[in-house]
Amino acid sequence: MRKPLGILLLWAAGLVAGTPVQEHGALKVAGNRIVDQAGQPVRLAGMSLFWPLWGGERFFTKEVVDTLVDDWRCTLLRAPVGVEPKGGYLESPGPMKAGLKVVVDEAIARGVYILIDWHEEHAHRHTAQAKAFFEEMARTYGDKPNVIFEIWNEPAGNSAPIPSWPEIKAYSEQVIAVIRKHSSNLVVVGTPEWSQRLDLAADHPVVGTNLAYSLHFYAGSHGQPLRDKADYALSKGLAIFITEWGTTHADGGSSDRKVYTEASAQWLAWADQRQIPWANWSLMDKDESSSALLPGASNKGAWPEVALSPSGRWVREQIRKRSSPPATPATR
């Protein structure tokens, strides 16, 4: 049946009726908060997909996005682009962009926010490639209020060369300039030492507008000292976006296999109080405790509870607590 022109125009703009993006519109930074089109802080919660390598690419499907929106009630998704590893963007950009397009297009169609994540530790060594990638992404998606650009996932903290904040800042300003040719959308800047040293960024922030700074934590490894650094950054006026966090040790839980729900709850309460959006790592079936799915889970979504890991069950509950009932599926 032919759909009214108004519905088709809303879908094309990413403003699907009754969805988070229709409610909040394009995000922007006001002071040290990320706010919506009405100037009100937004509470976004959702999932990050895994590296689109080593089996993670199986989950870059429309069905996975639909399940995360309809059942998990995610208002935010994160789509990493694996850059350096064999088979990644530097070696095979076509497959990386093809998988990304599936997820981003479906997130737009479903009216949720989507982080396009340049998933790399040494991005300053590949500035030219990052600029070309984000120019293409900004030209393609820069008019969609759904899309957020995460320009450097996690600057290295222990693998040489360790990028300094001045190097991260210089890279960021070059990439942001390319994005700004096409889009005023929110940009998230990586911070030193695996996106944990927001205090260093706070003393000499990037020059630009509509910028937030990434904070990453793993509840089994990081606690109050890292929150103190983040609070310092907030006190200096930086807006924070938790683009990746885990319920486990920083190794993904591969060593002790534990899920630290009490420590995770402390972190999420802290983020709620400060109105900081977040995405959990990760929507994957890898045999480690930070994965939300158990090994062998379907890449068609609609997972029964028995297919979810202990972390996945707990995180799904946290997302649903923080989200409105799902919007009516988009008609397209």
| 120, 153 Cβ separation under 8 angstroms | yes
Is beta strand 45-49 parallel, antiparallel or unpaired with respect to 113-119? unpaired
Q: Choosing from 57, 150, 154, 288, which is the catalytic residue?
A: 154
H or E, element range at 149: strand 147-150
Q: Is 244 a catalytic residue?
A: yes
Helix (H, G, I), strand (E, B) or coil at 14: coil
Tokens of 164: 């300094």
Q: Is 317 a catalytic residue?
A: no
Beta-strand ranges (E) seen in 15-95 are 28-30, 33-35, 45-49, 76-82
Helix (H, G, I), strand (E, B) or coil at 206: coil
Q: Which residues touch 252 (CB under 8 Å, ≥6 apart)?
A: 246, 286, 288, 289, 290, 291
Peptide bond into 298 cis (omega under 30): no
197: region left, alpha or beta (phi > 0 left; psi from -120 to 50 alpha): beta
Q: Choosing from 57, 120, 244, 288, which is the catalytic residue?
A: 244
Cα 217 from chain centroid? 13
DSSP 56: G
Q: Report how far residue 175's alpha carbon sits from residue 178's, in angstroms, rounded to the nearest whole number.
A: 5
Q: Give start and end residues of each alpha helix (H) in the chain.
A: 5-12, 20-24, 62-70, 93-110, 127-141, 165-180, 192-195, 198-203, 224-235, 261-274, 310-321
287: region left, alpha or beta (phi > 0 left; psi from -120 to 50 alpha): beta
| 327, 68 Cβ separation under 8 angstroms | no
Show which residues are catalytic.
Answer: 154, 244
